[in-house]
Amino acid sequence: MFKFGSRFRRQFKLVTRLAFEDYGHEWVISGCSVLALSAVLIPLLVLFGLKYGIITNLLDPLIQNPRYREVAPIGSGSFDPEWFDSIQARPEVAFVVPRTRSLAASIKLRAVDSDVGRIIDVELVPSAIGDPVLAEGRGAPSGLIEVVLARTAADKLEVAIDDRLEGILTRTRRDRQESVRLPLRVADIAPITSFARDGLFVSAQLMTAVEDFLDGRAVPELDWEGTAPSTGDRSFAGFRLYARSIEDVPQLRLDLMNQGMEVRTSIADIALVQSLDRNLSIVYWIIALMAIGGYCLSFATSVWANVDRKRREFSVLRLTGFRTEEIVWFPILQAAFTAAFAWTLALAVFLAVQGTLNALFSSTIGGGEPVCRLELQHLISALGMTLVAAVLAAIIGGRRVAQLEPSIGLRDR
Amino acid sequence: MIPHLDIVRGAKLAFIGESGSGKSTLLELLAMILMPSRAGTFGFAPLPSQAARDVDAIWQHRDSDQLSELRSRYIGYVLQHGGLLPYLTVRKNIELPRVLLDLPVDDVAVDLAAKLGIEQQLDKLPATLSVGQRQRAAIARALAHEPPIVIADEPTAAIDPLNATRIIELLSDLTEALGVTLILATHAHDLVERGGFSLISHEIRSIDEQRMTVTVSNV
């Protein structure tokens, strides 16, 4: 039925022109078929836009907030460097850093450069470059000096980036209170959105130094005295672990539970939104398939009737010398015109409806975000699907063009 | 059944008969639209420079592309109801056979329209023309690609006798001037008597619903 020779390329342009002239000549009928198709497309676009908008509004905070990607151990265990190497190597893991025992996870802080004499207790958080909680491309904790301070603590101490801090650690050894001072520098201040408590992000090296000191050991790098310093591979009580995306969390959780540890994740929050998305999608596609199927059926019958009405014109074209494989493009091209025009009209109406819906509802149910929205790729695939559906319907309804004989044009009506 | 029918290049032939008498069947056979059930010899030599094509052999190969190529290049049609495409202007209708054959369009439409007296109608759509003007446009289209043969099936069936005579005369004069073979089917005896046509009478006998025998004899 379809051949693509060089003659065909020449004649195809002619057929396209004739099909378009016919389409324009019968603008009332063409306009009706455009309206009929956009009447199907508009509610589908709006429904999909609402589904996408609402799900995006629910999902976006989960995607943007690293908290939902965290897999945190419950209680304490014992994790050696080999374990950290193996977990780090997994593609689902975006960031992992060892965590010391929770007893050894706080420090007193004082600002050196400011007049505020206040000393506050802050939580020590092990961190490193690439910590998803910290802002990307800015100062990160490293070595024994560079630290990142949480916003609340920075406000209390009235310090800014590059200011110096002094950490104060106190331990009881042989019934005697010992205390050391630790010179620190603020590399960055973590935004309140990523960490809302008084916290200090420090390197793993500094974290272990603090743990060693509190355990009564010596820390030679900082000239702290004590029992023999720890040597060789050490194990850690816990870790801070973030998955690459929220989709990776369930698998990581399952694997860690299979290793015998209990973990805490935000999996339930994510699963809720995901199952909502899935169910809405099912409902949407049932509606869409019924609408598109019904439309295809009615479009195919109207193409059938049109071909029947125009069979004399088609046979005149055959008599003039057009071949069957050129004539069959007539209804197909006209269906494509209808699809393209209907999509354009539907897009215009969708944009208007979208604007109205967003103005009406975004402040109440959208939380300031638009409740109805579509991405460019949605619109392009809508165009693609519309074209495919219309062309398929035209092929079904227009098959009889191929069976038309040139003699019909010669015969009496 | 056509015992023997030679159509000489440049001849003017008329099949006379009432509607339903098999004229259209004959024309369709000659136009290579209808496949004969059996054929002794069916030679087609539209141009003196070319050897005759064996149409029966092409039919046996079911090579409809070659037939449609022969048809579109060498035959022009005037249909009973004009058969103009309603969405093209008269000018574009006339030019269509040339465009299809990739021939230069030039002033062919204007020249033919002037000869047929419809130069005022060139940029109108067929629907706005009178029936007579439409038939003139159809004649122009049939001649546009300079075919050696023109086949006209009852071209004046829907036209008043006065106009009909005038149109047949125009068709006859034009084809004669261009040296074109004209094959005309009509039920109006008086129209062709004066035009110097060779009359072909034929007799039709049905074998069954699909097949029939048409016997042709020269008058």
> How confident is the model over A194-244, as pLDDT tens digits?
788 899 999 988 988 888 888 888 888 888 888 877 776 788 889 999 999
* In A158-227, alpha helices (H): 204-214
Residue A413's pLDDT is: 42
Average pLDDT, chain B: 81
As a whole number, mean pLDDT of residues B34-55 equals 76
Q: Decide which of A228, A261, A294 is a domain's last residue.
A: A261
Residue A294's pLDDT is: 92
Side-chain-side CA neighbours of residue B174 (13 Å):
25
Give chain B positions within 8 Å (CB) of A311: none
Q: Decide which of A223, A242, A261 is a domain's last residue.
A: A261
A123 and A236 belong to one structural domain: yes
Q: Which one has a higher pLDDT value, B48 or A97?
A: A97
Residue A1's pLDDT is: 47
CB-closest option in A10, A22, A323 to B68: A323
Length of chain B in residues, anyone?
Answer: 219
Give chain B positions within 8 Å (CB) of A412: 19, 24, 80, 154
> Is residue A140 domain-resident?
yes
Question: CB of A176 within 8 Å of any CB in chain B?
Answer: no
Average pLDDT, chain A: 87
Residue reference for tokens 């996870």: A105
Between CA B117 and CA B56 the distance in angstroms is 40
Q: In CATH, what number is assigned to the domain containing residue B202?
A: 3.40.50.300
Between CA B161 and CA B190 the distance in angstroms is 10
Helices A6-25 and B90-100 pack at an angle, to 10 degrees, of 170
Residue B52's pLDDT is: 76
Between CA A78 and CA A87 the distance in angstroms is 14
Write out the residue range of the structural domain in which residue A229 sits.
Answer: 75-261
Nearest residue in B to A325, CA atom: B65
> Is residue B99 domain-resident?
no
pLDDT above 80 for A159: yes
Between CA B143 and CA A234 the distance in angstroms is 100
> Is residue B117 domain-resident?
no
Which tens digit of pLDDT belongs to each residue from B175-206? 888 888 888 888 777 767 776 777 776 666 66
3-state secondary structure of A338: helix
A214 and A286 belong to one structural domain: no
3-state secondary structure of A173: strand
Confidence of residue A407 (pLDDT cuts 50, 70, 90): low
Asked if B15 and B185 touch (Cβ cutoff 8 Å), the reply is yes
Residue B184's pLDDT is: 87
Q: Which two tokens stand for residue A395?
A: 């092929």
A39 and A155 belong to one structural domain: no
pLDDT above 70 for B214: no
As a whole number, mean pLDDT of residues A252-276 equals 88
Distance from CA of B116 to the nearest CA of A (A): 21
Write out the residue range of the structural domain in which residue B20 sits.
Answer: 12-35+54-85+134-139+147-218
Q: How many domains does chain A have?
A: 2
**Beta-strand relationship, B149-153 and B43-44:** unpaired
Percent of chain A topping pLDDT 70: 95
Residue A147's pLDDT is: 92
Longest dimension (CA), chain A: 120
Confidence of residue A293 (pLDDT cuts 50, 70, 90): very high
Please answer yes or no on whether A25 and B33 come within 8 Å at the CB atom: no
Please answer yes or no on whether B33 and A410 come within 8 Å at the CB atom: yes
Amino acid occupying residue A254: L
> Is residue A187 domain-resident?
yes
Q: Which two tokens stand for residue A193?
A: 């959105």
Between CA A104 and CA B193 the distance in angstroms is 123
Which tens digit of pLDDT belongs to each residue from B103-148? 898 888 898 999 888 989 999 999 999 988 999 999 999 999 989 9
pLDDT above 90 for A47: yes
As a whole number, mean pLDDT of residues B35-48 equals 75
Q: Decide which of A261, A288, A315 is a domain's last residue.
A: A261
Q: How many domains does chain B have?
A: 1
Residue A202's pLDDT is: 93
> Is residue B47 domain-resident?
no
A130 and A257 belong to one structural domain: yes
